[in-house]
Structures are given as structure tokens and as C-alpha cells.
Structure 1
């Protein structure tokens, strides 16, 4: 029975992955408005009914390669040593989640599409919101706090979700050439330091921002 369940779960995961990859590929080729649920299902070799067993709509399928990282956060966080300082756990988890993906160019292109489409932004934020609520429960259990009354687990979970989203967005904006783990470390260091106001940029840099033509 255990073997049968294992095979079934792997098959379901493979089908979901095929659907999300098909949705992403079609969105990159035709734009979001040019994608339909029927086309996604056909591209993945399944029925439209099967599609709806995995995703409520095309938007959720398109952003799945991004929101699946949020789900991975929960699994990784739950697997960290119980006596590990919570911020060390957060850092280790983020390092694993934001490792540059195999399909880096596709991921960068997808992020750019998401950032310009309100419906995709909403789907991505919804996935991150669900992750943060569950992450807060995990952090509360590790720190002996109460997620129903205490701010701390929710704030840490919020930092976790925000860091992942901002770092990946900044990385994608630079064409995928940045140091993702380095950006994570910089973000967490600033949070742990109380998010101090950074020193002003040198004058030539500020002038260049004020006058892009120069």
C-alpha cells in the first residue's frame, strides 16, 4: 500500500509539473491573454477536467513554478534542527529555495511577465500569503510563541516571504546575473540590524539617476 501511494503521489506531482511547465511555456510564447486552460491541458497531454484537479485557473498554473518555491519553504523549515536559532534556519531555507533554477532564462522571462500582469501578481501573492501563514505556525512552534496572539512568528514569516520575493525580483531585473545567496544574506543582515537607513549613494551615481540621458 505504501509503495502504491508513493507511485500515485509521484505521478500526481509529475502531472502537476507538466501542467505548470506547459502553462509557463505558452505564456512566454503567446502572452497571458493568448493562453487558455484547454491549450495548457492539451500541451501537457491531459484533459481539461484533469487540469482543474490541480489548478483553479490558468493564472495559478502559470505562476506555479514561482509559488512552488513558497511551498518548498515549509518543507525545508520543518526539517531544520529544532534547536537551531530561528534566523539561522530562515537563512538556510532561503539559500536552498533561491538557488538559481535549471531553466534560468525561462524563470527570468516568467518573472517579467508576472510583474506586468495584475492577475498573475495576485496569484503569486496569494501563494506567498498561504505560505506565510503556515510558516508562522512552524516558527511559533519552534519559539514557544502563540500564532493566535503573538506578532513575532508572523513578522519572521513575513520577512521570510518578503525576502524571497524581493530578492528574486531584484535578481530577475538584473537579468539573472546577480548573486542570489549574497542578496539573501544582505537582506537578512539588514533586517537583523533593525533595517538601518543606508548611506547615501556617491554624488555621481545620484546625478546619473536624476539625469538618465547624461
Structure 2
């Protein structure tokens, strides 16, 4: 692919992202002010300066527009870097998974155009329409499954593999906490610095040994079994 084609593709992607962001910002603002049923798709289109057809090229409904970027696809180039794994091991996650997840997460956040004001706007919209929480929960579950499938594909394992599930749950929790800290009103630190601090804290915890059988004591379920 030529350099000009790459540039054109990048411009188109940024233009689409800007349009999507504008639609979502308007939908969230209107939801926070009027409630989800207090405005129409046509009013969103007018405020965002787009046609009805353009709206439906990006979103199926007002609810989709409010949820917004949670449904966006991951950039192809970032996924290509993430999937470069030359250290697969049989029936186990590789030793490069954490670093790959670290790079992917920082890349996605630093490319994102979402601002603290937009996050607050989203919270206001959800507060105004609690019914969106159910939709947000479903979106979150879908993203978790997508994340597990992404990790599983990189590692050559099943999404239900214990190490894949544990990696996705733990890394997801750290990422979520990092985002909350980053978008807080009094934060002045960069995202990557907060994420690195939180990941190092998690590594320090999970590098510690587990309790021994002696420390755990007898298993009441085992001791209650009838002798054979």
C-alpha cells in the first residue's frame, strides 16, 4: 500500500471518528437535559450537522448513540502489534502477554479523543436515564467476551482457559480503575503513568506466595465426607 493510500485511510478514519464523537456528544447532552424520550433522532442530526442517513450509518438507535464508543472496533494496526507473539507455550499464557496488553491499552487510550468533559457528560446521561445501565451492563459483558477472545487468539488457547479468564478479569479490573483515576476531576497525571503504577502494584501482590495447606487449615468439606 502506498504512503498516500495510508494517509487517505488515516484521514477517513479520523473523519469517521470525529463524526461518531459529535453524534455521541449531542445524544448524551440531550439525554442529560431532556431524558432519552425527550428528543428525536432528527434533533440529534440537526444539532450535529448531519443527515438522518449519516446517523444510521453509525448508530442503530438513540441508545446506541448515547453508549457511543463502547461499541467501536479496535484499530487494525494496534491489533496487529498485539497479536505478534513468538513465545507461545503449550496450554499456558506466554511470558509476553502482560507487556502486550500494556502496550495495547496505552495505545488505545492515547489515541482516543475522549475528554474528561465527555466522561462527565456520559455519567450525566446515565444518571438521567437509569434504564441505560442495563444496556451498559450488556455492552460491558460483550466487551469482556471480546477481550477474552482477543487474548485467547493471541495465546492459541480457548477463551474459557483458566489463565485466559484470569488474565482478562484482572487486567480489565486494573484498566477500569486506571480510567476512573485518570478521568477524575483533580487528576493531572498522564494515563500511562497511572496504569504503570497500578500494574506494578498488582504484580507486587501476585508475586507473593499463596498460603500453605498448614496455614489454611483442614478443609471442612473434605473432613465432612463419610469414610469409604
SS in 1 for 2:165: helix
* Deviation of the 1:43 alpha carbon: 1.9
Residues 175/61 of structure 1: CA separation in 2 closer, same or farther (3 Å cut) = farther
1:82 corresponds to 2:93? no
1:18-167 correspondence to structure 2 within 5 Å: 18-27=22-31, 30=33, 32-33=35-36, 34-65=38-69, 67=70, 71-72=73-74, 76-80=78-82, 81-83=84-86, 85-99=96-110, 104-113=115-124, 116=127, 117-147=129-159, 149-167=160-178
Q: TM-score, normalised by structure 2?
A: 0.62
Flag structure 1 segments of 5+ consecutive residues without an equivalent.
197-214
**Are the aligned partners of 1:60 and 1:123 in contact in 2 as well (CA < 8 Å)?**
no
Q: Secondary structure at the match of 1:118?
A: coil
**1:8-36, Cα deviation, whole Å (9 max, x unpaired):** x75765643442243245456x3544543
CA distance in 2, matches of 1:162, 1:75: 25
Asked if 2 retains the 8 angstrom alpha-carbon contact of 1:108 and 1:175, the reply is: no
Superposed displacement of residue 86, structure 1: 0.3
> How big is the shift at 1:55?
1.7
Cα RMSD for the two superposed structures: 3.8
- Whether contact under 8 Å (1:98, 1:168) holds in the other structure is no
Q: Is the 8 A contact 2:85 2:155 kept in 1?
A: no
Question: By how many angstroms is 1:163 displaced?
Answer: 3.0
Structure 1 pair 179–31 and aligned structure 2 pair: CA distance change class (3 A) = farther
- Number of equivalent positions: 190
Please say if 1:194 is aligned against 2:206. yes
CA distance in 2, matches of 1:175, 1:120: 27
Is the Cα–Cα contact under 8 Å of residues 178 and 191 in structure 2 kept in the other structure? yes
* 1:124, distance to aligned residue in structure 2 (A): 3.8
Report the Cα offset of residue 176 of structure 1: 4.3
The C-alpha deviation readout for 1:149-174, integer Å capped at 9, x for no partner, is 41322332333433333322233233
In 2, Cα distance between the equivalents of 1:27 and 1:105? 18
